[in-house]
Structure 1
Amino acid sequence: MSRSGVAVSDESLTAFNDLKLGKKHKYVIYKINDSKTEIIVDKISSDESYDAFLEALPEDDSRYAVYDFQYEISSTEGKRSKIIFFTWSPETASVRSKMIYASSKDALRRALNGVSTDIQGTDFSDVAFESVLERVSRGAGSH
């Protein structure tokens, strides 16, 4: 339960575990239900395209997302994968939406074990592939 009183649905945790352990999904987008009581799954996809993920984020409303981000540091080290937690809160979202998502984030974030990086996005440049790649590869040497 978060400070805002919003709970995390079982479905939300199942979707995350399917992404993390089962590798069934590429990303999961979460939203707070209309009655503002629970964080639920908004969209699940196995589409490998990062652009498809970005297109699934609403332009004028907040969301949370987890993404199985794959990248290559160098040709000798091969591909790596990190699970990234996104808090998407665009400038155009209502103040109420931004506030409830900000105050409810910890409940979901604490429930998701195995996330390596948190990214806060207020516009699409914050969550662009290159921006995310820079964030995850910066910490790559320390893991």
Structure 2
Amino acid sequence: MAVHDDCKLKFLELKAKRNYRFIVFKIEEKIQQVIVEKLGGPEETYDDFTASMPANECRYAVFDFDFITDENCQKSKIFFISWSPDTSRVRSKMLYASSKDRFRRELDGVQVELQATDPSEMSLDIIKGRAL
């Protein structure tokens, strides 16, 4: 599975410049390549992010999560989310599962990895719990 240069470029911008709140990646099956499907601006929220995940198609995504620790420190963690809803096609689930590790390695700087098959598995409470 090839990874479009834009994927790494946009991820570096999210990591270094914080130009984006999140990036949604899609595998373009016809050309066997991971591409950027959607960029979420810095002002977008976690709800905007979850709303951009298709209900019955797989996706990869990164989300830059800002939070405040118990010690009152402002922090941020980059999450890699592998979205594979139960309602998506079996072939698609297999393709995303088999390509995940290789794609994930391309994104240097991800701090937390999450696998979700329905929206409850990537709720804001779960994200907060994994960030701390």
TM-score, structure 2 as length reference: 0.95
Letter in 2 for 1:67: F
Q: Secondary structure at the match of 1:107?
A: helix
Residue 20 (structure 1) aligned with residue 15 (structure 2):
yes
Structure 2 unpaired stretches of 5+:
none
Deviations 1:29-77 (CA, angstroms, capped at 9, x unpaired)? 0000131511000100114311000000000000000010111122x43
Letter in 2 for 1:59: A
Aligned residue number for residue 101 of structure 1: 96
Calculate the aligned-residue CA RMSD, in Å: 1.0
Aligned residue number for residue 66 of structure 2: 70
Contact 1:8 1:107 in 2 (8 A): no
| Aligned match for 2:3, one of 3, 8, 14 | 8
TM-score, structure 1 as length reference: 0.88
| Aligned match for 2:87, one of 86, 92, 106 | 92
Distance 2:126 2:39 in 1: 23
Runs of 4+ aligned residues of structure 1 deviating over 3 Å after TM superposition are none
Identity %: 39
Offset at 1:116?
A: 0.4
Contact 1:27 1:45 in 2 (8 A): yes
Letter in 2 for 1:54: T
Give the count of matched residue pairs. 131
